[in-house]
C-alpha cells in the first residue's frame, strides 16, 4: 500500500536492561497488553500476565500466540484484590505495568459502575498489591489522553493541566491518575518505588478487534463488504501506532528503575500534525482500498470530545522519546497486519517483525 515513511528518530530501548527482568503485566490479553507482552518477551523479559480472558474473538493474544512465550498467565479479575496480590507476590517482579482496564467510552455509558470499579478500584488493588510485594523497583500505570478536563480547544494538553472527564470512562481514568498521585506521595516514595502514569493517544495497529473503535470497525466493514457508519467525522484525535506509546512506557520504566525522580505523569502522543479528524482517516483509507466506503450515522450519539491533542514535549526533552512512525505509516502497518492475518500468516512472527522494523526506525 505504501502510505508513507516513518520518522527516523526516537530513543533506542535498552534490551540488556530487560533481559531476565521479571515483569508483572496486567491486561496482557488485551490489544495493547498483547503487543507489550510480545515486545518484552522478545527482549528476554520473564513476563507474568494478569487479566481476564480476551473479550474478542479473534484476539491478538490468541492469534499471535502471546501466552506461549510468557512465563505465566493468570486469568483473573483486577477487582479481586486477594487474587491480584497472590499473583504478584508469586511473580516477584522487578517492574509492573498496569494496563488492565475498561477501555471504551461508549460502553462506559452502558456500564458506569463497572467502569469505575475496574478503572479506579482496580488501580487501588494494583497499588495495594505493589505495597505488599518486596523487590519492585518501577510501576507504570497506563491511563489515557482523555483524563484531562477537555476544553474543546486546539492547543494540546500538558501533564500539569486539570484532570476531568465528561463520560464515565474519561472520569474514571482521571480518578486513576489521582489515586496514582496519592499512592506515590503517601507510600511509594517511602518504599523507593518509582510510580509513574502514562497518557497516550488513540492507538491503532494490527490485532485490534474491539467494538466502537474506528480502525477495527473500518476493517470489519471492508471484510463484510458493508458501508462504515461514522458517528463523529469531525472529531480530532491524536492517532498513533500502538508501538509508539509502548516504546514510551518501556523507556519510562527503564528510567524509573534507576531514578525515582521520573515518578510523574507523562504524555506519549504523536506529533501535532498527526492529530487528524476521523474523516481524514477514513478518506485516506478509502482512497487506497478498493470498495471501501463510509457515511455519517444519522441517529443521535452519546457525547464524545470534539478535539483532543497531547503535548509530549516533556517526554521529548527528559526521556529523549520521539514518535517514529507518522500517521500514514501507522495506517499502512495496521492494514498490512490485517491482510497478513487474513492470508494465514504466522502472526507471532509477523508481529515481532513489525516490532523489529519499528526499533530499526528508531535507531536509524
| DSSP helix/strand/coil, 73 | strand
Secondary structure (DSSP) of 234-256: T-EEEEEETHHHHHHHHHHHHHH
**Cβ atoms 122, 100 nearer than 8 A:** yes
**Cβ atoms 158, 311 nearer than 8 A:** yes
**Cβ atoms 78, 50 nearer than 8 A:** yes
Q: Is 169 a catalytic residue?
A: yes
| DSSP helix/strand/coil, 72 | strand
| Assigned C-alpha cell, 314 | 516533556
CA atoms of 201 and 214, how far apart (whole Å): 13
CA atoms of 101 and 243, how far apart (whole Å): 19
Q: Where are the beta strands (DSSP E) in the chain?
A: 22-26, 46-51, 72-75, 95-98, 138-142, 194-200, 202-204, 228-230, 236-241, 265-268, 275-277, 294-296
| Assigned C-alpha cell, 34 | 498483547
For residue 275, which of 304, 250, 312 has the smallest C-alpha distance?
312
CA atoms of 28 and 38, how far apart (whole Å): 10
Helix 327-342 to helix 214-224 angle (10° resolution) is: 40
**Cβ atoms 7, 327 nearer than 8 A:** no
Catalytic hit among 61, 148, 157, 169: 169
| Burial zone of 7 (CB within 10 Å; 0-12 exposed, 13-18 middle, 19+ buried) | middle
| Assigned C-alpha cell, 147 | 483524563
Q: Write the DSSP symbol of residue 310.
A: B
Q: What angle do CA 360, 351, 213 make, to 5 degrees?
A: 110
Q: What are the angstrom distances between the C-alpha of 192 and each of 90, 131, 146, 155, 260?
A: 21, 11, 29, 36, 7
Residues recognised as catalytic: 169
Amino acid at each position: 500500500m505504501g502510505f508513507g515513511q516513518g520518522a527516523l528518530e526516537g530513543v533506542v530501548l535498552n534490551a540488556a536492561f530487560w533481559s531476565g527482568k521479571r515483569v508483572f503485566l496486567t491486561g496482557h490479553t488485551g490489544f495493547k497488553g498483547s503487543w507489550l507482552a510480545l515486545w518484552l518477551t522478545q527482549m528476554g523479559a520473564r513476563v507474568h500476565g494478569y487479566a481476564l480472558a480476551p473479550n474478542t474473538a479473534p484476539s491478538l493474544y490468541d492469534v499471535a500466540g502471546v501466552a506461549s512465550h510468557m512465563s505465566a498467565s493468570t486469568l483473573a479479575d483486577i477487582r479481586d484484590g486477594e487474587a491480584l496480590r497472590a499473583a504478584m507476590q508469586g511473580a516477584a517482579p522487578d517492574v509492573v505495568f498496569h494496563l488492565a482496564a475498561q477501555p471504551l467510552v461508549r460502553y462506559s455509558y452502558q456500564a458506569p459502575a463497572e467502569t469505575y470499579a475496574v478503572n479506579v478500584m482496580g488501580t487501588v488493588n494494583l497499588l495495594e498489591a505493589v505495597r505488599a510485594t518486596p523487590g519492585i523497583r518501577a510501576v507504570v500505570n497506563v491511563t489515557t489522553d482523555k483524563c484531562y478536563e477537555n476544553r474543546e480547544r486546539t492547543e494540546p494538553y500538558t501533564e500539569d493541566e486539570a484532570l476531568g472527564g465528561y463520560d464515565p470512562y474519561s472520569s474514571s481514568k482521571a480518578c486513576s491518575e489521582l489515586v496514582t498521585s496519592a499512592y506515590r506521595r503517601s507510600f511509594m516514595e517511602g518504599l523507593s518505588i518509582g510510580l509513574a502514569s502514562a497518557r497516550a493517544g488513540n492507538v491503532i495497529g494490527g490485532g485490534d478487534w474491539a467494538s466502537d473503535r474506528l480502525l477495527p470497525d473500518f476493517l470489519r466493514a471492508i471484510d463484510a463488504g458493508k458501508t462504515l457508519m461514522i458517528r463523529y467525522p469531525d472529531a480530532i484525535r491524536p492517532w498513533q501506532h500502538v508501538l509508539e506509546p509502548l516504546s514510551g512506557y518501556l523507556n519510562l520504566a527503564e528510567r524509573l528503575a534507576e531514578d525515582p525522580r521520573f515518578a510523574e505523569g507523562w504524555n506519549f502522543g504523536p506529533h501535532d500534525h498527526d492529530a487528524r479528524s476521523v474523516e481524514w482517516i477514513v478518506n485516506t483509507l478509502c482512497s487506497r482500498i478498493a470498495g471501501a466506503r463510509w457515511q455519517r450515522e444519522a441517529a443521535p450519539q452519546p457525547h464524545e470530545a470534539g478535539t483532543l491533542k497531547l503535548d509530549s514535549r516533556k517526554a521529548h526533552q527528559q526521556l529523549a522519546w520521539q514518535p517514529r512512525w507518522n500517521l500514514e505509516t501507522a495506517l499502512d502497518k495496521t492494514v498490512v497486519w490485517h491482510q497478513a492475518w487474513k492470508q494465514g500468516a504466522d502472526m507471532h512472527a509477523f508481529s515481532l517483525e513489525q516490532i523489529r522494523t519499528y526499533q530499526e526506525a528508531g535507531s536509524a
